[in-house]
Structure 1
């Protein structure tokens, strides 16, 4: 259940991360969703590895915040890599 929950959180978190960091990204909504899923997984990993949280215990605010944090990190990295590739 843990991985599936992070994927669902990631779908929503990708949209929230895009709302927090607006801008023109290549790939549109599909890339945003994929970044959100990856960010949800990254946020779950960060939360359990470095912070020592219990992982996903259900759909709660703490888990969602970690998914959004992971999505924001991945979105920033994606923009940095894509910007350098265009230059």
Structure 2
């Protein structure tokens, strides 16, 4: 079983990428800051694991990878689709 992580999975391109990977038979860990949207997606997508994570927090990212590797044994693909903007 191949495992992919898709960031920004809850909307737009992230949702489309997630659906394509699921259709291709991958297990998909969908990561987004919008936990409610992820849970809605999980309700009708077999093979989808929702993970509400703030990707601006390095510790939260490390915890995410710990959970994913513990559950699935590793990650085969990362789609880094989430966008962040830092204003100074």
Structure showing the higher strand proportion among its residues: 2
Normalized per residue, the structure richer in helix is 1
By the TM > 0.5 criterion, same fold?
no
TM-score by length of 2: 0.26
